[in-house]
Amino acid sequence: MILWSKIDLFMKKSTLFILFIFAFLFISGRLFPQTAVVDTTKNIILLNELSGGIIFHTQGWGAKFTKGYNKSDFSRRVWNIELIEMRSPKQIRTINPYFTNSKSYNYGKLNSVFILRGAYGTHKRLNRKPYWGGVELRLLYMGGLSLGFAKPVYLIILKQSSQYYEYTTLEERYNPDEHFVDNIFGRASFTKGFGEIDVYPGIHAKVGLDFEYGTYSTKTKSLEIGAILDIFPRPVPIMAFNEPNYFFFTFYLNFNFGKRYNSL
């Protein structure tokens, strides 16, 4: 019952957030028309598009690179490469309460997980941008391969010395059977564990809406919102006291900036 109530609350918040974005973009396009700018390229058909952006999603953040080709005035073929961080909703930062100079860490976190996505899909235009500017809306659906990278978490562990109240410290890979709140001093260097990264192949699917609000037809500025499902045949472990994840379902918000052009 508690799980379902949390899911229901999350869905309600996500719906309100999406409705807020819709309202903001509609109002900004209606109330602030861009009539003062003259775009001399508006009658030129630009076939290619390159853009990059930052992604914020419900379990982390990341970056994206996109290459597109306008198959027609209403359809665009798109290739995406994304690298995102994937956190567990259960991870919470804490510190060792017995040492004033201890470092914060996520208790119970086994691995830092990142996902590299390569996708292909389509953007379908739902409305044409008004002559005075405004917002163009596109529906997107994409799919492709996912590669999960799990880097082991290393912590600074306290070791009792021969003298009472004296300790030495060592950087060790987190082991839930040996490392506890009282003997963890804090997080180790993030570079520790790169030689032990485990790779998890998978697939993903994405659906969303792209709001293009750029002033010039040669430059792209858009806000993209949607949902992504990553599926892995071999489950990806993040937390020690939870089952590893066969899939990740996340909502995302993506800001894109780039250019349109014709090949020479």
- Collapsing DSSP to helix, strand or coil, 221 comes out as strand
Which among 77, 76, 75, 82 has a CA at the least distance from the CA of 52?
82
Residues in Cβ contact with 230 at an 8 Å cutoff, skipping those fewer than 6 apart:
86, 115, 117, 146, 148, 202, 203, 204, 247, 248, 249, 250
Compute the distance between CA of residue 221 and CA of residue 74 in angstroms, rounded to an integer: 18
- Is this structure's pTM higher than 0.85? no
φ/ψ (deg, to 5) at 4: -65, -35
Query: How far does the chain reach from its first CA to its final CA, in angstroms?
Result: 60
Please, are residues 258 and 51 in contact by the beta-carbon 8 Å criterion?
A: yes
Residues in Cβ contact with 92 at an 8 Å cutoff, skipping those fewer than 6 apart:
106, 107
Domains of the chain, CATH where assigned: 44-261 (2.40.160.20)
pLDDT by residue for the chain (264 residues), tens only, comes to 444 444 554 555 555 555 555 545 544 444 344 433 444 445 556 788 999 999 999 999 999 999 999 887 788 999 999 999 999 999 999 999 888 889 999 999 999 999 999 999 999 999 887 666 678 999 999 999 999 999 999 999 998 876 777 788 999 999 999 999 999 999 999 999 999 999 999 999 999 999 998 877 788 899 999 999 999 999 999 999 899 999 999 999 999 999 988 875
Which among 201, 167, 202 has a CA at the least distance from the CA of 186?
167
- C-alpha 137: how far from chain center: 22
